[in-house]
Amino acid sequence: MHAGPRTTPGGRTVVVTGGTRGIGAAVARRFAADGDEVTVADLHTDGVEDTLPRGIRAVTVDVTRDCEVRSLLAQFARVDVLVNAAGVIARDREYEIDAFERVVAVNLTAAMRCCLAAREALAAAPHGCIVNVASMLSFFGGPRVPAYSASKGGVVQLTKALAVAWAREGIRVNAVAPGWIRTGLTDDVQANDEANRRIITRTPMRRWGEAGEVAGAVAFLAGADAAFVTGTVLAVDGGYLAA
């Protein structure tokens, strides 16, 4: 088992899937701001390089393809932090089996694929850790998004299972569960006045969350202050689940 001081931000090797947009992008920028070297792996990287701050590079990767994921992770002798933020949603279409399978493949199976591919490099780091992006829908059903709900519920159980399985290798595994966050995935909901009103009324803090607030929670779980935290799911939802 690993012992000694925990790794502090700065100089770490960080890999973020789905890191060019939304929560993933905010996470990547937070780690870069902390002085870490960040690689974002995403299917959509055209034109992204010119907009990235120092410390972030973008690599085109389809996380549903094993060969591409393994090729990416094989580049690193050591990975300090892996963040599985790649995710898709297909509201009202997830009752079609093709859409259902696609959502589960990206949100859940790909997270496991990335964890497996990064395992050796994570174990080689002094204090390797994984942070998965779950959801408030990990805990209750979304009638318009059965695949998204099922996949994010699976992310929570995957997080707990790997935390127990890999603890002796010095790898911590945690997750964040965002509530209603302003990102591209929620654009259509934000634009719906009635839905927007219901969300704000139901959220005790009476507002939407920002991607940077989720990034802050991820940074905590990947940092020294969470040295004895593994198998945990941290809700970042303005009190939505508590209400």
Query: What is the reported pLDDT for 2?
Result: 45
End-to-end Cα distance, the chain: 39
CA 139 to CA 176: how far, in whole Å?
12
Please give the CATH number for the structural domain made up of 13-183+210-236: 3.40.50.720
Count of CB atoms situated within 10 Å of the CB of 241:
13
Q: Where are the domains of the chain?
A: 13-183+210-236
Q: How many helices (H) and strands (E) does the chain have?
A: 8, 9
Spans of the chain, pLDDT less than 50: 1-6
CA 202 to CA 138: how far, in whole Å?
17
In this structure, are residues 208 and 41 in contact, taking their beta carbons and an 8 Å threshold? no
Residues annotated as catalytic (active site), given as ranges:
148
Q: What does each C-alpha distance from 78 to 12, 94, 203 come to in angstroms?
A: 9, 37, 40
pTM value is: 0.94
